[in-house]
Amino acid sequence: MDIFGVLNMGSKALMVQQKGIYVTGNNIANVNTPGYSRQRLNMSSDVPLNTGIGPVGSGVTANEIERVYQRFLGVQINNETQSLGQREAHKDALERVEVVFNESGGYGLNHVMSEFWNAWQDLTNNPSGPVERTVLVAKSEMLAATFSKSYEDLQKIQRDIDSSIEVSVEEINRLSENMVDLNQKIIQTELGGHTANDYRDQRDLVLKELSELIDIGSFEDANGGVTVSVGSGQVLVEGTRSYKLSTQPDVSGLQDVTWVDSSGNTVTITNDISKGKLKGWLDARDLDIDRHLNNLDTLAHDLMEAVNTVHASGYGLDGSTLNNFFTGAATAAGIEVNPLIANDTNLIAAANGPDKPGDSSNAIAIANLQEAPMMNGNTTTFGAYYDSMVSDAGFAVQQATSYYDHQSQMVLQVENYRESISGVSIDEETVNLIKYQNAYQAAAKLINTADEMMETILSMI
């Protein structure tokens, strides 16, 4: 309780308020830093001195810089971000698929199929007409080309998805290394008993970025390091060690996601991925696009078979018979007009007997296939089968979009909730700044007073 005590108290107060200004300044500086949690200076009154008149306070002391944070929110954000990543990737891929089935301009497979059947009807009007025959071949080639173009476009999307998957796996490995680095820094920092606030924020951000790509499980060890696992429990990060993910082509040439252990053995985890962008892409690639490819193949196969069966039973202008109209593999990519027919349109079998150039019976039989229920166990026409594929693709986008919209709202909500707890408010920090500044000024005044007191004493000598 002497003058030096006052001086000492003033100097401590100055330092503590200055720390407060420093922390406030750090908050303001990081107002837009992603993942940053605002920090708060915890201070308390210093140990009082016991005197004859009882304990007397000895000023202020700074205890620690605390990070304002709610742990469960971090977990929730990661979970919702995993779903968002999945929905977003799925939606984006399906939107590209829908473009392949774009019929709004009237130039898709629906249109081309109509033209194909109409060309057969034109032939019935003039079964021996060279013009009608040439047009029929041209329209048929167009049909085959449209089939394979649709098929290839879908495969192109699969390949694009594959390269996205490869890039993401690289990204996951980079994030894992990042995480190891941060784990190390946190463990070291916290050995001294203080929380590594900023590193923890950064690590949370890395966890969130990982969550966007793949579903992860994570927990924190006693020493502060985080363990992250993917797939069916494969460890990605364990304290200061990390493992790698990799990709390798499966039997159909599409990329599988694999986990590589320390001795270089790989475990395929493709089917264990249940969320994140990887899941969205895998679903689009292996379920949606695969289904469309199969349906296109079925359509091409059935159409080819039906036309060929009728065509082979008929006779060409040159008396030839048993010719297939379409050849090549019975798939969307393989179907093509019989090259013999393309070279010699006389082979088109419009008649049901030789030497009947005016007979259109067989052409009529083929033209009638358009309205015949040939697909789905003889319940659906070729056209209706394709139309339902278009509807299917549109419906998938509609559904994926509504999932995505819903999920983005969820993430926005949770993020806002996190922001309302951990985010920096400029208004609040401005108030704090003024508060600390005033306290700093007052502490300075205290030192000034102690100085004057000292002078008074000294002048007495």
Binding of another protein by 401 (CB under 8 A): yes
Binding of another protein by 360 (CB under 8 A): yes
By CB under 8 A, name the one of 47, 329, 395, 441 that touches another protein: 395
C-beta closer to another protein: residue 128 or 449:
128
By CB under 8 A, name the one of 92, 115, 220, 286 that touches another protein: 115
Binding of another protein by 421 (CB under 8 A): yes
C-beta closer to another protein: residue 103 or 238:
103
Binding of another protein by 302 (CB under 8 A): no
> Within positions 180 to 239, which residues make up the interface with another protein, using CB under 8 A?
none
By CB under 8 A, name the one of 320, 392, 437, 444 that touches another protein: 392
> Within positions 15 to 54, which residues make up the interface with another protein, using CB under 8 A?
31-32
Q: Which two tokens stand for residue 145?
A: 């080309």
Q: Which residues pair with 219 in a beta bridge?
A: 227
Helix H or strand E encompassing 385: helix 382-422
- Coil/strand/helix, residue 59: coil
Minimum Å gap between C-beta 408 and another protein is: 8
| R_g of the chain, CA atoms, integer Å | 38
For 179, half-sphere exposure in the C-beta direction (CA atoms, 13 angstrom radius) is 31
Sheet of 216-220: strands edge to edge?
Answer: 216-220, 226-230, 234-238, 241-242
Minimum Å gap between C-beta 200 and another protein is: 19
Minimum Å gap between C-beta 114 and another protein is: 4
Site string for another protein, 117-156 (x = CB under 8 A): xx--xx-xxxxxx---------------------------
C-beta closer to another protein: residue 117 or 436:
117
The vertex-12 CA angle with 8 and 13, nearest 5°, equals: 115
> Which range of residues in 55-63, 94-102, 192-200, 238-246 is near another protein by CB under 8 A?
94-102
By CB under 8 A, name the one of 42, 102, 223, 294 that touches another protein: 102
Q: Quote the CA–CA distance of 418 and 76 in Å, as a whole number.
A: 10
- Length of the chain counted residue by residue: 461
Binding of another protein by 415 (CB under 8 A): yes
Report whether 383 contacts 113 (CB < 8 A). yes
Binding of another protein by 384 (CB under 8 A): yes
> Which range of residues in 2-10, 160-168, 321-329, 416-424 is near another protein by CB under 8 A?
416-424
Binding of another protein by 298 (CB under 8 A): no
By CB under 8 A, name the one of 223, 240, 398, 441 that touches another protein: 398
Q: Which two tokens stand for residue 3?
A: 């003058």
Q: Which two tokens stand for residue 38?
A: 């605002």
Q: CA dihedral defined by 94, 95, 101, 102, rounded to 10 degrees?
A: 170
C-beta closer to another protein: residue 201 or 215:
201
25-29, long-range: CB within 8 Å, 24+ apart, which pairs?
A: 25/433, 27/424, 27/429, 28/424, 28/426, 28/429, 28/433
Q: Quote the CA–CA distance of 142 and 125 in Å, as a whole number.
A: 21
Binding of another protein by 356 (CB under 8 A): yes
C-beta closer to another protein: residue 208 or 244:
208
By CB under 8 A, name the one of 61, 357, 435, 451 that touches another protein: 357
Report whether 257 contacts 268 (CB < 8 A). yes
Q: Which two tokens stand for residue 65?
A: 């810089």
Minimum Å gap between C-beta 340 and another protein is: 22
> Which range of residues in 218-226, 274-282, 327-335, 352-360 is near another protein by CB under 8 A?
352-360
Q: Quote the CA–CA distance of 317 and 130 in Å, as a whole number.
A: 10
Q: Cα separations (Å) of 372 from 138, 246, 256, 307?
A: 23, 50, 42, 12
**Residue-wise burial string across 275-294, b where 16 or more C-beta atoms lie within 10 A, e elsewhere:** bbbbbbbbbbbbebbbebbe
C-beta closer to another protein: residue 202 or 255:
202
Binding of another protein by 425 (CB under 8 A): yes
Size of the site for another protein (CB under 8 A): 69
Q: Quote the CA–CA distance of 450 and 411 in Å, as a whole number.
A: 56
Q: Which of 248, 63, 112 is nearest to 169 (CA)?
A: 248
Q: Quote the CA–CA distance of 346 and 343 in Å, as a whole number.
A: 9
Give the interface with another protein as residue ranges (CB under 8 A): 31-32, 95, 98-99, 101-104, 106, 110-111, 113-115, 117-118, 121-122, 124-129, 351, 353, 355-361, 364, 367-368, 370-371, 383-384, 386-388, 390-398, 401, 408, 412, 415-416, 419-421, 423-427, 430-431, 434
